[in-house]
Amino acid sequence: QKEVEQNSGPLSVPEGAIASLNCTYSDRGSQSFFWYRQYSGKSPELIMSIYSNGDKEDGRFTAQLNKASQYVSLLIRDSQPSDSATYLCAVSSAAGNKLTFGGGTRVLVKP
Amino acid sequence: ETGVTQTPRHLVMGMTNKKSLKCEQHLGHNAMYWYKQSAKKPLELMFVYNFKEQTENNSVPSRFSPECPNSSHLFLHLHTLQPEDSALYLCASSQGRSGRARGGELFFGEGSRLTVL
């Protein structure tokens, strides 16, 4: 079983729509969760972090965490072509000494 | 210079060569990391240094040898590599250890694209 699982996509959304990305993790004791965006040919960049159950909003991005279901999601509102990228979910270990990445979900926003 | 810089950006080497990758961070962070990114595989953690002490070696083959002389510089020495080692090698830094709250907020360099012939 993979430690952090994401649908590889591509997730195709029309411009202006909401893109919904999901991530599940296996380590029930994990406490810290992160979303990174990686454009083709570039390195990952942090876009959201979330530590408590519930929603966290930052601009057009909303991260949602449900520790009981071991599930974290990312919503991108009013999707723009510039949001086309691979989105990586990252989860800390329960011991707090390791960050594990999922395989990423490729998002394509079509004008 | 800002952020995390890596050199060289591209490297082609034979299996018998010895080369080194360099990483420098200008963010005042205390933790530095080497990650490997291969096609169609998740980012793989290789090494973690916290205050220039190695705190994680993720079962990496000995043909990869890290060196961290201080909290701002990190090297990855390469020797007798295999073609399957061809990948993008990413350096990152964070304020705090990986896995802890701010430690998971990684700042990545642009990467060194390695090709082993």
- Contact of A48 with chain B, judged by CB distance below 8 Å, is answered with no
- Contact of B66 with chain A, judged by CB distance below 8 Å, is answered with no
pLDDT digits over A9-56, tens only? 999 999 999 999 999 999 998 989 999 999 998 999 999 999 999 999
Instruction: Show Cβ contacts of residue B106 under 8 Å, excluding neighbours closer than 6 positions.
Output: A36, A44, A46, A99, B33, B92, B93, B94, B98
Question: How close does chain B come to A81, measured CA to CA in Å?
Answer: 22
- Residue B98: is its pLDDT beyond 70? no
Radius of gyration from C-alpha coordinates of chain A: 13
Identify which of B42, B99, B109 has the shortest CB distance to residue A93.
B99
- Contact of B3 with chain A, judged by CB distance below 8 Å, is answered with no
* Percentage of residues in chain B having pLDDT higher than 70: 91
Which range has the worst mean pLDDT, A89-98, B18-27, B87-96? Answer: A89-98
Confidence band, pLDDT 50/70/90 cuts, at residue A86: very high
Contact B97 A96 (CB under 8 A): yes
CA distance B26 to A33: 25
Helix (H, G, I), strand (E, B) or coil at A48: strand
State the pLDDT at residue A2. 66
Q: Which residue has the tokens 């972090």?
A: A49
Residues 5-24 of A with CB under 8 A from B: none
Question: How close does chain B come to A33, measured CA to CA in Å?
Answer: 8
- Residue B1: is its pLDDT beyond 60? no
pLDDT digits over B55-86, tens only? 878 889 999 999 999 999 999 999 999 999 99
- Residue A97: is its pLDDT beyond 70? no
Locate the chain B residue with the closest alpha carbon to A6: B42
* Cα–Cα distance list, B71 to B22, B53, B63, B106 (Å): 13, 9, 23, 15
State the pLDDT at residue B92. 94
Confidence band, pLDDT 50/70/90 cuts, at residue B96: low
Q: Of the candidates B79, B98, B113, B89, which has an alpha carbon nearest to the alpha carbon of residue B32?
A: B98
Burial class (CB in 10 A: 0-12, 13-18, 19+), A82: exposed
